[in-house]
A and B are shown apart, each in its own frame.
Chain A
Amino acid sequence: MWSYILRRVLQALVFIFLISVLIFSMIHIVPGDPVLTILGDEGASQEKIQALRTALKLDRPLPVQFFDWIGAVVRGDLGESLISGRSITPDILTRLPRTFELIFLAIILSLLVGIPLGILAAVRRNHALDWLISLSAMLGLSTPVFVTGTLLTLLFSLRLQWFPSTGYVSFQEDPLAHLQRLILPSISLATTTSAIVMRMMRSSVLEVISLDYIRTSRAKGLNQAVTLYKHVLRNAVIPVVAIIGVQVSTLIGGTVLIEYIFNWPGLSSMLIKAISQRDYPTVQGVVLFISSLVIFINLLVDLSYGMLDPRVRYT
């Protein structure tokens, strides 16, 4: 078990290093210049540009810049934003919880909606209810998040005026206002995932139901609810857990659009802004942070199979 974990962690570190090389090269290959973003599109003389480039240490060879950066990262320092001059790590740490509360709430919503509907569809297989649930799942799957987000805003903010359309109020400042603004973006984010959870749950339940031991438990007279709860669900839920692990990275991707539409000041909106400004250290810092997180979550998901299914053993 421990050697397995160690191996996986080492593997993850190699991945993270490769990602850092990739992201560093990619953002530097893209044309554009942070120096010009800072100086504005007017009145930037060549001398001014050169002076600022030297001051920001952007005039050194790229490999030197890379090892300088990665060296600081290993010491836990992501550097400073070229544009605002603020330290990047605290900015990431302020914004991370905002993005994660969106994702967390979206996952909870997906499970709350997806699991019961999946079971219902499986139990009522090929009945009208199953068709209806599967149809809405198809709809949820095929609607892009920005369409869902825009439609929800139109209906609940502009028409019904139940929720504010945009914005962010911190929880400490006003808990109710905070939650009100959290709901629409989370629901938009959750639509695709709940459809995936529902479909996975449905097929998983159908598969387990057809297994011999279920037939046996029915044969010995256990009622359907007990069979479902005690024997079917526990086994059927494993693939759903796996899919949630995979979905976290999809959800992080989804927040890029959702944070934009709902003006949510999270990690993704920070990344988008940094990319358009060619704020190299910020882009590198945020992407490295997010990808390390995704790798770490996948690791946790792998390890959690063992807890849910005693047959899984690590060798």
Chain B
Amino acid sequence: MLKRSLFILLSFIVSLSLAQDPKMGGILTWGLSTDPPNLDPHVSSGASAATVKMSVYNGLVRYDKDGQIVPDLATDWQISEDGLTYTFNLRDGVMFHDGTPLSSADVKFSLERIINPDTGAYLASAFGVIESIDTPDDLTVVLHLSEPHAALLPYLARQEAEVVSKAFVEGGGDLNLEMMGTGPFMFVSREPDVSIKLEKNPNYYETGKPYLDGITFIPYADEQTRVTALEAGDIDLIEYVPWKDMEAIEQNPDLELHADEGAAFMTLIFNQERKPFDDPLVRKAFGYAIPRDAIIRVAFFDRGSPITGGLIPPNSPYHNDELDGTYSYDPEKALSILAEAGWTDSDGDGILDKDGETLSVSLLSTSTYGMHMQTAQVVDQALREIGVDITLELEEWSVVVARQTESDFDFRVHGLGVLVEDPDFLAGYFMPDAFYAKISHMSDEMYGEPLTVGRTSTSEEERKAAYLEFEKAFLDQAPWVHLTWRTQGEATQSYVKGYSHLPGPLWGHSAYTLKETWLDK
């Protein structure tokens, strides 16, 4: 007995001495990949801007470092049986940076501001189901929905759902130029393209946090410059680590890589209004003709994995294992599917043809981003090998964006993200009224229905079945052909402690852990 107590006591002492106490103070310098075009928390302007905003603002709920939804400004919440009423109880005593207290009116104001189309808010359509908002008292907010929305909490946990001060905005504060929230850090100053400075909020609601005295964000437009700045010790942390540098960073004892996959994917988008992509057989054949491993090797330096089945990430409970392996690299199969569609090399010139016409297609991609260009080059080469007459159009990014909006392309390489930690992210791309569904002329109604069931059903079984149905139909029709997952990561100096890269689709929310970050030097 005595021995056992002694052992427990000893192990307790050992574990105490092993766990380091965070050191207070110091300024963390964060190398951004781009200068935030605006500071408005509700308007999306990319992951870099989101990182800055989420250090200054809080939402009702947020993600912790393991990717779980946890209380933030709301201490707890109740969802009604029918999924139509959400009641949030707010934390008492939270202060905005200007010293005014947070109340339910600020939450109502923020959500209404997001829903208002004039704001141009990122979550406007996701929150479209919110019919009305009640504030029975200063610390209670009740949302009434027009129909159940299974992914409402994950959307509320996103950076773009943060709470702003009603009085500040109505008093003429410009959210685009200034940040004023309740978060762990307070806005100090911004010089465009030079820096954004934040300082510790001494009245932050979590007593004792943040550990840092402040954060300085410095934009680095060039990725090589960003990596060099980290290696030279000019800055403490960089985002968007280029794949080619990941290995060197892992092997450098002074640096640490924080990365994982399941957040971003490469895909081929077909314009189904143009021949030959109006024929699903041609699209499917292309799905078998492309060596996804070669893309991972060439474009991502082996930091990725192939997508051979559905698009719901492998780490999601909704991922359909049985669909994995639907597509594989099989040029013979590609040729036989094309033959089924009528495309054969009848005149022996090495190019497939049908009724006297050759199989000529043009692939749109960009020279602005290496990963896009290299992916396109692999696709180009692979299709050429099976006898497709392919033209590779490498345009500057802004030209690609303009041509895409006009649907002026045969098919294109794109890199997109899983935008919310829920299969409802598919709706953002493939609902019939979504931008990408429109530009690729995916008019087929067969996708809209299961996606709507998936969004509005309160039964997990029903949701799972709906998403399986969606993914099966998608793989069968191949309106897009998905290629690979890619790794996404940040790198820090090894003295940066307490920073965590959030798993999978949540990587863009890793800055939630900055209040627990400290410098061991």
A residues at B contact (CB < 8 Å): 31-33, 36-37, 40-45, 49, 83-86, 91, 153, 157-158, 161, 164-168, 260-263, 265, 269-270, 273, 276-278
Contacts and interface: CB of A to CB of B under 8 A. Distances in A.
A196 B278 CA distance: 61
Contacts of A41: 401, 404-405
Query: Which are the 7 A-B pairs with shortest beta-carbon distances?
Result: A32-B398, A165-B232, A157-B232, A265-B193, A166-B229, A41-B401, A43-B435
A164 B225 contact: no
B169 interface: no
Given A37-B401, A86-B192, A262-B225, A165 B435 contact: no
B402 interface: yes
A262 B405 CA distance: 35
A263 B435 contact: no
B194 interface: yes
Contacts of A260: 221-222, 225
A166 B418 CA distance: 33
B196 to A, nearest CB: 13
B193 A166 contact: no
A161 B229 contact: no
A276 B225 contact: no
7 contacts: A32-B401, A36-B405, A153-B228, A166-B229, A167-B229, A263-B221, A276-B368
Nearest to B434: A43
A188 to B, nearest CB: 13
Nearest to B438: A45
Contact of A33 (B218, B220, B231, B398): B398
Interface in B183-228: 191-194, 218-222, 225, 228
B131 interface: no
A36 B402 contact: yes
Interface in B393-428: 395-399, 401-402, 404-405
B192 to A, nearest CB: 7
A99 B220 CA distance: 17
A273 B368 CA distance: 13
Nearest to A41: B401
B435 A31 contact: no
B225 A261 contact: yes
Given A31-B395, A260-B221, A260-B225, 10 more contacts: A31-B398, A36-B405, A42-B436, A43-B435, A49-B405, A153-B228, A167-B229, A263-B218, A263-B219, A263-B229
Interface residues of B, number: 35
A14 to B, nearest CB: 33
B225 A31 contact: no
Given A42-B435, A44-B405, A84-B192, A165 B229 contact: yes
Given A91-B192, A263-B221, A166 B228 contact: yes
Contacts of B396: 32, 276
Contacts of A269: 193, 221
Contacts of B225: 165-166, 260-263
Q: Which residue of A40, A164, A166, A261 has the most chain B CB atoms within 10 A of its CB atom?
A: A166
A130 to B, nearest CB: 37
Contact of A40 (B44, B192, B402): B44
Nearest to B433: A45
B398 A276 contact: yes
Contact of B220 (A44, A161, A166, A273): A166
A5 B176 CA distance: 48
A153 to B, nearest CB: 6
B244 to A, nearest CB: 15
B234 interface: yes
B404 to A, nearest CB: 7
Contacts of B235: 167
Contacts of B404: 41
B233 interface: yes
Interface in B369-394: none
A36 B399 CA distance: 10
Nearest to B229: A166
Contacts of A263: 218-222, 225, 229
Contacts of A85: 176
B37 interface: yes
Contacts of A40: 44-45
Interface in B160-198: 176, 191-194
A36 B398 contact: yes
A83 B218 CA distance: 19
Given A260-B221, A260-B222, A36 B232 contact: no
B439 to A, nearest CB: 10
A269 to B, nearest CB: 7
A276 B397 contact: yes
Contact of B234 (A42, A44, A49, A167): A167
Interface string B253-272: 00000000000000000000
Contact of B194 (A84, A157, A158, A265): A265
A260 B221 CA distance: 8
A164 B231 CA distance: 10
Contacts of B436: 42
A37 to B, nearest CB: 6
Given A167-B218, A269-B193, A158 B228 contact: yes
A166 B231 CA distance: 11
A261 B222 contact: yes
Given A157-B232, A158-B228, A276-B396, A31 B402 contact: yes
Contacts of B192: 84, 86, 91
A40 B399 CA distance: 13
Contacts of A164: 229, 232, 234
B228 A278 contact: no
A158 to B, nearest CB: 5
Contacts of B44: 40
B226 to A, nearest CB: 8
Contacts of B395: 31
A270 B193 contact: yes
B39 to A, nearest CB: 11
A149 to B, nearest CB: 10
Contacts of A158: 228, 231-232
B193 A165 contact: no
A161 B368 CA distance: 32
B233 to A, nearest CB: 7
A44 B232 contact: no
A223 B447 CA distance: 94
A260 B37 CA distance: 19
A278 B435 CA distance: 22
Contact of B233 (A33, A42, A161, A168): A161
A274 B233 CA distance: 30
B221 A273 contact: yes
A36 B234 contact: no
Contact of B399 (A31, A44, A153): A31
B193 A278 contact: no
A30 to B, nearest CB: 8
Nearest to B435: A43
